[in-house]
Every structure is written in C-alpha cells, then in structure tokens.
Amino acid sequence: MAIFKIITNEDPILRKQSKKITVVDDRSKKIIDDLFDTLYNTDTGVGLAAPQLGILKQIIVIDTGEEEPFALINPEIITSEGEKDSEEGCLSCPEDYGLVKRAERITVEALNEDGNPVTIEAEGFLSIVLQHEIDHLKGILFIDKATPVTKDKQV
C-alpha cells in the first residue's frame, strides 16, 4: 500500500501531457493500486489521475460510489453529446470550486487494468468525472475552464 502526496496546481507537472502506456504490466498495476490507495486516503475524492501523483502516464481511477470502482488506461473520448454545467473541485486545487461546461454524454475507449479494450458510455456524474480525469492526462485542470473560480465553497 502506498499513499502518495497529491500534487497541487502550483506544480508545472500537472500541465504536462501524459504518455500512453504501451505495455500493460505489473508497473501499470502498481500505479493503479497507488492511485486507489491515495484516492481512498482522501475524504472527498471520486477520481484520480496518475499525473496527480507526479506520474506522467495515461492512467485514471474512478469511484463515484454509483458503480464498481474501475481503472482506465489510455482513455480517449470518442464521442460527446449535449452540454451541461458542472460544479467541480479537484484534489489538486483544494480550495477552488467553479462551474465548468462539460458534455452531457460521452463514449470513452480505453484499456482496462488487464489490458483489454473497453468502451464506456457515460452520462450524468460519471460522464463529468471521466471528462475531468481525462483532462488531467492532457495537462488541463478544471480551473482552466471554470467560470468563476472561487475560493468559496458556495459557488
């Protein structure tokens, strides 16, 4: 079990593009385990991306509480439909909240933690969390898209 310190938004590493995983092996499984351990060590997190641990690899984990927790490797949004205002925060921007325009429904292609291709069709909260975490892999934080960004929880 390894709990990492979650990197916060002053660190330029969060602005970098993460690299694709070419071979799914024990190293990717270790990153997934570390992501879940670190996520579950937070009070509020529903998802975490590898760059938030300082690892520039395309891996995310998600546990919204509405479905089984899962990890995705090399996730890519292949379709998006609709538009939705989303009130967001981020473990890497602990004091910030803001409204972000997100797609309502998306389709994501990825590999699961065993390296098998998966396609996920998501709407509602899961769709938002997926878009937020996939943005992390591109070096994008929600505060780059949010209006307004506030330090006050009462957005």
Q: Which is closer to Ni ion, CB of 71 or CB of 90? A: 90
Which residue is nearest to Ni ion, using beta carbons?
A: 90
Measured CA to CA, the distance from residue 124 to residue 154 in angstroms comes to 21
- To the query of whether residue 133 is one of the catalytic residues in this protein, the response is yes
Phi, psi of 41 (to 5 degrees): -85, -5
The answer to whether residues 50 and 60 touch, using CB atoms and an 8 Å cutoff, is yes
Distances (CA, A) of 95 to 59, 89, 106, 126: 24, 8, 28, 22
Binding marks (x or -) toward Ni ion, 82..101, rule CB under 5 A? --------x-----------
Minimum CB separation of residue 91 from Ni ion in Å reads 6
**24 vs 137, beta carbon nearer Ni ion:** 137
Contacts of 91 (CB under 8 A, 6+ apart): 6, 42, 44, 45, 48, 52
Question: 145: helix, coil or strand?
Answer: coil
By CB under 5 A, residue 146 contacts Ni ion: no
Instruction: Please report how close the Cβ of residue 109 comes to Ni ion at its closest, in angstroms.
Output: 21
Q: Which of 66, 67, 113, 133 is catalytic?
A: 133
Q: Which is nearer to Ni ion, 90 or 110 (CB)?
A: 90
> Interface with Ni ion by CB under 5 A: which residues?
90
Q: Active-site residue numbers?
A: 133
